Amino acid sequence: MKQEFSRPLGTEDRRIEMPVMNRSILFPPARENVASNLQYRVRMLSSQLLTAQEDERKRIAREIHDGLGQMLAAIKFKIEINHSQNKDGPIEIEKLLNTLLPMIQECIEETRRVQMDLRPPMLDDLGILATINWFTREFACTYPTIQIKQNIEIEEDEVPLSVKTVIFRVMQEAFNNISKHSRANLICLSLRRIERRIELAITDDGIGFNPGMTLPVNGMRKGYGLTSMRERVELSGGAFRVESFVGLGTTIQIGWPLQDEH
């Protein structure tokens, strides 16, 4: 039977626990190891961020070329052919527009998709709660076989601005991992305020994995997606924890302490 966490998520205990039977729990590094590990991890993070930045640029360039570039080239070609024939009577113009307008609309939708993938404007305009609703709706349309349950127990103004982006990026990466690797049928997303902290939890009922084999303390081995999430969370002042059981799903749990208002 799956056990609950032995203590509330926080910064007072950041041990790495070895797997016990089918249970694997990953905590952030122990406090006494942070000082000796910090310089090394900062170097590793800088290297990973530079690599990720270049990979992202390549991805964006490829998507623009393969998507927008080819559609715009096709529009240009059709206009040039029509112009060279010089037979633009009213009927021909109507036919041309009927062909071009859907292609232009496709370009607009593709541009919007690329933009939203990079950073949805609603995150800045409407906030994290609206962004979560939008993202889960879009995800459900793309992956209709995966059910999503939400439990939001926090107000928009209770979430610090610096944490909103981290919540979105963690959710984005976690859902992406679930869709690619977990074979899950259900995702449960919870965002709530508990006393003086914010807690985010994302749980799936997929095949699970062994966190100790995927994300070691130094972040050197495979599992960059989890490493990226952990780094984002820790740099924003939060605590990150992954709990997974082979064959019984995965839970990502994150907590941020709230600062005093005065």
**Averaged pLDDT for residues 241-254:** 91
* Residue 147, pLDDT score: 96
Torsion of Cα atoms, 38 then 39 then 40 then 41, to 10°? 50
SS3 125: helix
Q: How long is the chain? A: 262
- The answer to which of 12-21, 68-77, 126-135 has the lowest mean pLDDT is 12-21
Q: Which residue has the higher pLDDT, 100 or 132?
A: 132
Can you spell out the DSSP letters for 157-173?
Answer: GGS-HHHHHHHHHHHHH
Region of poorest pLDDT, from 129-133, 217-221, 238-242: 217-221
pLDDT of residue 16: 35
52-66, 86-100, 104-118, 122-136, range with the lowest pLDDT = 86-100
Nearest residue to 191 via CA among 136, 144, 234, 228: 136
Computed over every residue of the chain, the mean pLDDT equals 77
* CATH ID of 23-56+127-257, from 1.10.3430.10, 3.40.630.40, 3.30.70.100, 3.30.565.10: 3.30.565.10
The domain locations on the chain are: 23-56+127-257, 61-118
Is the separation of the CB atoms in 229 and 219 below 8 Å?
no
In this prediction, residue 225 carries a pLDDT of 79
Q: At 140, give phi and psi (nearest 5°).
A: -65, -35
